[in-house]
């Protein structure tokens, strides 16, 4: 696929609605923001994001989880796995996340999102304090041992090209908002996340 360039016609004007993010946050009783999980395939991103969503939901927080595989069944079904397409995939997820934050939700995303610049663009496109980057740092050998989808095995055999961590680079966050050791038990990481999220006003002290 050739390079995808997003552009907006000068004839298209953003329409501001009467109801906005502030009113929806007030109705929900908590701020709206994005919790962006990034890490290698098999690092535990989806597991942790899913567990956190359940924990937040059980506490009355309005949430929605965007998962890497799920968006490729619809929103990004026209994209492949070239570097250009993967960047476009993340760009689209960032735009959807912004709309969901405007709707007053706490949005959780679980994407490898290997490109540091792509993650930074999403952060810069949002209001300060509404993008929380969570780095699930798991050693490559641990991810390979897990290999829940058999993707590392295919990549090592040359059946899968441009696979992050094998023949494609992963640019780890240098200063993530939250750092998690993906080798630790899920329960410990969720406790840490819930404790930190109190500082963002999502949960009561």
Q: Does 189 show up as a binding residue in the annotation? A: no
Q: Does 201 show up as a binding residue in the annotation? A: no
Cβ pair 107, 35 in contact under 8 A: yes
Q: Does 2 show up as a binding residue in the annotation? A: no
Q: Does 180 show up as a binding residue in the annotation? A: no
Kind of pairing between the strands at 178-181 and 131-137: parallel
Catalytic annotation, pick one of 16, 97, 113, 183: 113
Q: Does 182 show up as a binding residue in the annotation? A: no
Cβ pair 115, 122 in contact under 8 A: no
Q: Does 149 show up as a binding residue in the annotation? A: no
How many angstroms separate the CA atoms of 44 and 183, rounded?
9
Q: Does 117 show up as a binding residue in the annotation? A: no
Q: Does 39 show up as a binding residue in the annotation? A: yes
User: Taking the C-alpha atoms of 179, 181, 182 and 187 in order, what is their torsion angle to the nearest 10 degrees?
Assistant: -90
Question: In which order are the strands placed within the sheet that holds 63-67?
Answer: 63-67, 106-110, 33-38, 131-137, 178-181
Q: Is 113 a catalytic residue?
A: yes
Q: How far is CA 146 from CA 43, 133, 180, 182, in A?
A: 9, 24, 17, 12
Please give the annotated binding residues for ATP, written as ranges: 39-46
Q: Which residues belong to the active site?
A: 113
Please give the annotated binding residues, written as ranges: 39-46
């Amino acid at each position: 696929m050739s390079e995808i360039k997003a552009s907006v016609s000068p004839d298209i004007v953003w329409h501001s609605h009467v109801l906005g993010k502030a009113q929806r946050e007030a109705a929900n009783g908590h701020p709206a923001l994005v919790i962006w999980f990034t890490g290698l395939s098999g690092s535990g991103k989806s597991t942790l994001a899913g567990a956190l969503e359940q924990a937040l939901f059980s506490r009355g927080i309005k949430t929605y989880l965007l998962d890497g595989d799920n968006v490729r069944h619809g929103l990004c079904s026209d994209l492949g796995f070239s570097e250009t397409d993967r960047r476009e995939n993340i760009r689209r997820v960032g735009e959807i996340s912004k709309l969901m934050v405007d709707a007053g939700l706490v949005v959780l995303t679980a994407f490898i999102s290997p490109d540091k610049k792509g993650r930074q663009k999403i952060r810069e496109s949002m209001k300060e304090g509404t993008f929380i980057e969570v780095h699930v740092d798991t050693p490559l050998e641990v991810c390979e041992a897990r290999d829940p989808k058999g993707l590392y095995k295919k990549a090592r055999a040359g059946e899968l090209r441009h696979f992050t961590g094998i023949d494609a680079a992963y640019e780890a966050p240098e200063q993530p908002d939250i750092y998690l050791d993906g080798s630790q038990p899920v329960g410990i990481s969720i406790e840490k996340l819930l404790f930190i999220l109190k500082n963002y006003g999502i949960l009561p002290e």
